[in-house]
Chains A and B, each alone.
Chain A
Amino acid sequence: MFRGLFGRYRDRTLVGVALLLSTLLLTLDRSLQADLARGLGASLYAPVQAVARTTQDLLFLRRENRQLRRVVATLNLERQRLLQYRDEVAELRRVAGFAAERFPDLMPCEIVGRSTDHFQKTLQLACGVGDSLDANMPVAAYSGLVGRVRNVTRQRALVETLASPDMAVSVRDQRSAVVGILRWVRGNQFRLDRVDAVEDVLVGDPLVTSGLGGVYPRGIPVGVVTRVEVSLDGLFKQVEVRPHVDFAGLKDVFVVRRVVDWEEKILYPPEQARLLYQLQAHEGAALQEGGD
């Protein structure tokens, strides 16, 4: 029988075995799938990613560093103005009896792996439990929300991006304060669910996280409304959204480990605070250099 299976019917036996193994893998528990993928994936892709990163570093790092110095210097000027407004707002909130504004504590993480097929969007970060990362922590980029950490090991974290069928984020229209649930539709297209037909949502409205639901802190930019229509039954609005983040072009992301008081000594550890003061001292020179 075995001679027949692996001789004359070898091709069919093989495809049967492949289908059986694939189905078995598909039906595995999600955490087991993640463990398996992490273990095998690290061995398979680590050498390739190391070569790619080194090449990229050599080609772009110097230019990127020069541009970043300019951006940091400009942001620092903006920050000085913001701090004045922060103190005014804090005073007003105190008088009105509102809780003090809080700020996300960001952990920068390099992306060292991403899903290679053209439908799914997961990212692997070079940060893990050792960096105080935990499951369900929100992940953002410079332009806006990326997704959330799904699971973490000692040195790696797997991020599920917003472009996933299982993701749902509570967002708020920054103009009208209408709240809805953001879900991925396809490609780079999202929709806003649970928006009544009478609610005020317009094309061009910016959306930010609402802070409801407890996973994502309030105020992280998410996307912009691109189309609004009333559904056929006339009860709800069909709202299409384009995210700020280009998931394919991401290089670095920031994991929101917690929200803290908006105080400089809490936001910046001593080493970073020293760097900030150095940059402040040289901001004029950096601006001049970047503008050349």
Chain B
Amino acid sequence: MSILMPILVGYVALALQATLVPHLGIAGIRPDLPLVATAMIALGRGATAGTTAGFLIGLGQDLTNPAFLGLNALAKSLLGHGLGTLRERFDAGTAATHVAVLFVATILHDLLYLTIYMRLVLSEIMLALATRTLPTAVYTALVGMCAFALLAPMSGRRSSRFGRSRIASQ
């Protein structure tokens, strides 16, 4: 059961990203559900699960776009590791924290992604960050907050496995 839940969350996120999310775009801006799933697993289960989930979810995303196979896997495994490590240092159980974490995580993820994708052209990277990443980060954070709230009751705890920090659980 403990392994099944992250696999399910990751697969559902990839499935929704491929099918439902294209219909949720606002002016071409869409939430990044695989990133939300990676953050959920990393915050709930730590760096090992976060890194593994990030790599596998990112790879799943890369399979739809083989031109840069491995780029999402790289960015999301680092993100999973970072969030999994950070969860011990702050209370990740509140909605405000989820929004803040997802917002910053989207920006850092895209910064790494764009650095490779745009082949280090700084002006293009900055422009893409301003025009695509910032609105995407806002959208992802809001959608992610709802996902955290939805999945919290499923874990059967007041503070979800997907948002529990070690400090909060003490």
Binding site for B on A (CB under 8 A): 10-11, 14-15, 18-19, 21-26, 28, 30, 33-34, 36-38, 40-41, 44-45, 48-49, 51-52, 113-120, 122, 124, 158, 160, 164-166, 186-188, 248-249
B65 touches A115 (CB 8 A): yes
Whole-angstrom distance from the CB of B90 to the nearest CB of chain A?
A: 18
At the interface, is chain B mostly helix, strand, loop or mixed?
A: helix
B51 touches A44 (CB 8 A): no
Across the interface, name the chain A residue whose C-beta is closest to B35. Answer: A117
A188 touches B67 (CB 8 A): no
Neighbouring A residues of B77 by C-beta, 8 Å: 15, 18-19, 22
User: B74 contacts the other chain (Cβ, under 8 Å)?
Assistant: yes
Segment from B12-20, B96-104, B151-159 that makes contact with A: B12-20
Neighbouring A residues of B160 by C-beta, 8 Å: none
A116 touches B128 (CB 8 A): no
- A-B interface contact total, Cβ < 8 Å: 153
Instruction: Identify B69's interface contact among A15, A33, A48, A166, CB under 8 A.
Output: A33
Whole-angstrom distance from the CB of A260 to the nearest CB of chain B?
A: 32
Whole-angstrom distance from the CB of B88 to the nearest CB of chain A?
A: 11
Whole-angstrom distance from the CB of A125 to the nearest CB of chain B?
A: 13
Neighbouring B residues of A25 by C-beta, 8 Å: 59, 62, 69-70, 73
B55 touches A22 (CB 8 A): yes
Total residues of chain B contacting the partner, CB 8 A: 54
Whole-angstrom distance from the CB of B63 to the nearest CB of chain A?
A: 4
At the interface, is chain A mostly helix, strand, loop or mixed?
A: helix
User: B29 contacts the other chain (Cβ, under 8 Å)?
Assistant: yes
B70 touches A117 (CB 8 A): no
Neighbouring B residues of A122 by C-beta, 8 Å: 64-67
Across the interface, name the chain A residue whose C-beta is closest to B33. Answer: A116
B74 touches A164 (CB 8 A): no
Whole-angstrom distance from the CB of A213 to the nearest CB of chain B?
A: 21
Between-chain CB contacts (< 8 Å), 12 pairs: A15-B78, A18-B51, A18-B74, A22-B77, A33-B67, A116-B18, A117-B32, A117-B61, A117-B65, A120-B68, A186-B128, A186-B132
CA distance A125 to B46 in the complex (A): 39
A160 touches B55 (CB 8 A): no
